[in-house]
Amino acid sequence: MRLKQAATAGTAALAALLLLTGCGEDDPMTDLGLPSASDMASLAHLINEHAACLDLEADPSEVDYMREEARDPAWGIKERAHCVDDHNDSITLLLINDMQKFQEQSAKGEDEWDIGQNFAIAAENGETIHRLAASKMMTLSCDPDLTVPSGYKKIDGLADGCVMTDYLADS
């Protein structure tokens, strides 16, 4: 009986240890406290909490930005959509299946994105970008010349040459 109790206690302790340490967690993005989106509607809702995402359209043919990349499995993109902010400037929305792949491809072009755990957005308007800062998204930058002032988070990205930061450079 004591052996059975000891084995049960050991199993429970191991399970608790795995939960506390995060072992078994395959997604390093979850520890950053970034927002996530289950679908385009929830991503648009997140944007609308802080800025504006109007006239959401799934994979519009008249918007070329990231159209080919969204179809290329090397990018790890699940879905692409588009909306406009309240200045009628474009916002490209991407749901990401594989953030590692996405960051590796972004590093090749020195791209910059506002990201969550499983999405990326590119907003044209600087005011919209700054309003989205309250959403707890971070900027993914693969620009080797990016300088992040002290006091801001700067975390190594999942791809060489990329960083994630809460610093929003004026563009």
54-106 residue pLDDT tens? 999 998 888 999 999 999 999 999 999 999 999 999 999 999 999 999 999 99
pLDDT for 34 equals: 94
Same-domain pairing of 69 and 136: yes
Average pLDDT, integer, range 35-52: 97
Same-domain pairing of 150 and 102: yes
Same-domain pairing of 20 and 57: no
pLDDT for 111 equals: 77
Same-domain pairing of 101 and 141: yes
Same-domain pairing of 47 and 115: yes
Is the residue at 111 inside a domain? Answer: yes
Is the residue at 170 inside a domain? Answer: no
pLDDT for 92 equals: 96
Same-domain pairing of 48 and 129: yes
Q: Say which residue the tokens 């998204």 belong to.
A: 137
**Looking at the predicted structure, is the pLDDT value of residue 163 above 90?**
yes
Percent of the chain with pLDDT over 70: 82
Mean pLDDT of the chain: 85
Same-domain pairing of 126 and 87: yes
Domain of residue 10, residue span: 1-25
Same-domain pairing of 54 and 91: yes
Same-domain pairing of 56 and 100: yes
Cα gap 128→70, rounded to integer Å:
23
Helix and strand numbers (H, E) in the chain are 5, 8
The pTM is what?
0.81
Cα gap 163→112, rounded to integer Å:
10
Cα gap 143→167, rounded to integer Å:
14
Count of structural domains, the chain: 2
Question: What is the band of 169 on the pLDDT scale with cuts at 50, 70, 90?
Answer: low
pLDDT for 168 equals: 79
Same-domain pairing of 117 and 136: yes
